[in-house]
């Protein structure tokens, strides 16, 4: 089986700030969400956990898997999508002049500027991870958990479910909600 989960909440989530690769830790709400997920998913078996290198994902993985003998393996390909100079911008949805806004409303038309990562780059690196690591383990009947982020997890969903980039946000990747992909 292949599962994904998004990290718990951070102060930037609460303030609706673009986090991207900015290494923002969980807040108390996020830690509690991870503890709740630990209890809720205690009976879901995982052989491996692959995790983003960012603190919020790492901490979520450690809390979620506390007391289990599941290795947590960091992989750079699971880092959140980079938003370049737009990281830290608040309320992007209400700022039509912000180019990153297009990613959320019309992903197929999104153009990365200001040092941001393109959607094509995000899809390529997550596709490499899936083909190099996750899919071979699933083929060996291993249960794989990926602990990541909103955009990165959405890219994985699109790839696994063969969705177009226009459908990037259809799954609605909530904080600390486990999604079984295959």
Mean residue pLDDT of the chain comes to 96
State the pLDDT confidence band at 102, using cuts at 50, 70 and 90. Answer: very high
Domain that holds residue 92: 2-180
Q: What is the CATH number of the domain that holds 112?
A: 3.40.50.1240
pTM above 0.75, yes or no: yes
Q: Provide the number of structural domains found in the chain.
A: 1
Locus of tokens 């063969």? 162
Specify whether 7 is catalytic. yes
Q: pLDDT-derived band of residue 7, with 50, 70 and 90 as boundaries? A: very high
Q: Residue 23: how many CA atoms within 13 Å on its side-chain side?
A: 6
Dmax over Cα atoms in the chain, in whole Å? 48
What pLDDT is stored for residue 172 in this prediction? 86
Token pair recorded at residue 75: 């992989």
Residue 120 CA: distances (Å) to CA of 108, 127, 138, 152, 180 = 10, 10, 25, 12, 24
Tokens representing residue 181 in the block: 């992909």
Active-site position among 38, 59, 80, 149? 80
Could you read off the pLDDT of 115-151 as tens digits, one per residue? 999 999 999 999 999 999 999 999 999 999 999 999 9
pLDDT per residue as tens digits for the range 32-67: 999 999 999 999 999 999 999 999 999 999 999 999
């Amino acid at each position: 089986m292949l599962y994904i989960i998004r990290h718990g909440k951070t102060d930037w989530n609460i303030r609706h700030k673009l986090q991207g690769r900015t290494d923002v830790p969980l807040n108390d709400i996020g830690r509690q969400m991870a503890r709740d997920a630990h209890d809720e998913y205690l009976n879901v078996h995982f052989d491996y956990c692959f995790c983003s290198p960012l603190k919020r994902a790492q901490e979520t993985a450690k809390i979620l898997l506390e007391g289990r003998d599941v290795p947590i393996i960091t992989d750079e390909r699971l880092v959140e999508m980079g938003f370049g100079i737009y990281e830290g911008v608040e309320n992007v949805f209400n700022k039509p002049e912000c180019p990153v806004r297009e990613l959320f409303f019309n992903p197929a038309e999104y153009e990365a500027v200001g040092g941001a990562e393109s959607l094509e780059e995000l899809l390529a690196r997550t596709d490499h991870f899936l083909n190099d690591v996750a899919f071979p383990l699933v083929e060996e009947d291993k249960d794989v958990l990926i602990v990541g982020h909103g955009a990165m997890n959405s890219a994985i969903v699109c790839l696994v479910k063969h969705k177009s980039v226009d459908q990037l946000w259809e799954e609605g990747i909530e904080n600390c909600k486990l999604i079984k992909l295959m």
